[in-house]
Structure 1
Amino acid sequence: MDEAAQPATRTGGRRRTTLRSRAPRAAVAGALAGLALLTSACGLSGSPSTVAYVGDSRVTQSQLDSALSGVQQTLQAGQQVSSAAVVNVMIHGALADEIAQTNGIAITDAQRDTVIKGSNLAALLDVPDAKPIAYDLADQQLVAEAVGSEAYLKAVQGIEVELNPRFGVLDPTQKIIADGQSSSLSLPAGS
């Protein structure tokens, strides 16, 4: 497949891990939810190396580590990027991929490059580990333009996202990490 015809699930040379079916795992996870709360307030129903499940895809810790490293290479001295910000972009990139796939939308790397080169994020394209983040951002814009803003937001709300609790709490409607919230059952002393 030539680069101009890359499918929407393509992110800068790497593919997100796609799961065949989460239904059986979800049923088992639901049945064991009570036990899981008693034994541990932390952990995702899958692997600890999973940052999030997004529909049929997953975002891994190694993908996050790579993306963080890449994005940090593009920052000026004294600037920082939070892991939550990068996780949010990765989740929304996966959401855009699912919506594109559902709607038969093919996005090329050339389209992605055009979107990003026209923004203040162009430096992300020059760093191989940051490029998937640039493409996740571009995919969100391109898919939302293709299906319409309202349809895009409705589709986002309809896709199941399960965030590893160590990254915080996910707002169920916007599918972003809610600032200042923790999924931990323990509170700091004095609270």
Structure 2
Amino acid sequence: MSVRQSRRGALGRHLAAAGTVAVLLSGCANHPTDAAVVDGTTISESSLQTTVRAAARALGAAPTDINQRAVLASLVQGAVVDEVAQERGVDVDPRARESLINTEPQLQAFAADPEAAPLAEALADVALVQQQLGPEAFSEAFLAVPVTVNPRYGTWDPTSQEGLTGTGSLSVESYTTP
């Protein structure tokens, strides 16, 4: 084997190893710029950041005061509910949505900002679709929608109240006994 062939082989192994590391670090999201993917519908990192900034404006807060994971969980829930509504043939009445939004000052504030309005709609639609389907049918359909979340935000858990669980850390502590 010549020196040139040996270098090519080493370069190929390094590139393969780098590709494996890139796949591991990108986690389960389809693309690193995806915050989440709900049954093929992408919630991009940029749309998440836009919504976080808009929510902060609507609430008169700094963007750093807004819990990104909570906003992402709400957007994911909204996208899941959209899938459920489409699959089950449920139409969300815009007047019912507006009426529900008008009962909650925080939702009103979000709805008043065009970039935060999807957050208000997502939160309202969860309640409206659940009401139309009934709790059992809604839960069954909600749990069946595939969701992939960028690991930096944690893990999607539709059974938890928060929606996203875990630390979002890509590393796991290892415990050893002395």
Where 2:30 maps in the other structure, the secondary structure is coil
By relative contact order (CA 8 Å, sep 6+), the higher-ranking structure is 1
Q: In structure 2, what is the equivalent of residue 100 of structure 1?
A: 85
In the alignment, does 2:82 pair up with 1:112? no
Matches within 5 A, 1:1-191: 36=20, 40-77=24-61, 80-121=65-106, 122-171=108-157, 173-174=159-160, 176-178=163-165, 180-187=166-173
Residue pair 2:92, 2:125 contacting (<8 A) in 1 also: yes
The letter for the 2-side match of 1:177 is: L
Distance 2:140 2:98 in 1: 26
Secondary structure of 1:40's counterpart equals: helix
Cα displacement string for residues 95-150 of structure 1 (whole angstroms, at most 9, x for unaligned residues): 11011001111123332211111113211111111101000011101100010112
Structure 2 unaligned runs (5+)? 1-18
Distance 2:24 2:153 in 1: 15
If you compute each CA radius of gyration, which structure gives the higher value, 1 or 2? 2
Structure showing the higher helix proportion among its residues: 2
Q: Give 2:13's aligned residue.
A: none
Number of aligned residues: 153
Task: Point out 4+ residue stretches in structure 1 off by more than 3 angstroms.
Answer: 35-39, 41-45, 76-79, 172-175
* TM-score, normalising length: structure 2: 0.75
Q: Which runs of 5+ in 1 are unaligned?
A: 1-34
User: TM-score under structure 1 normalisation?
Assistant: 0.70
Asked whether the 8 Å contact 2:29–2:37 carries over to 1, the reply is no
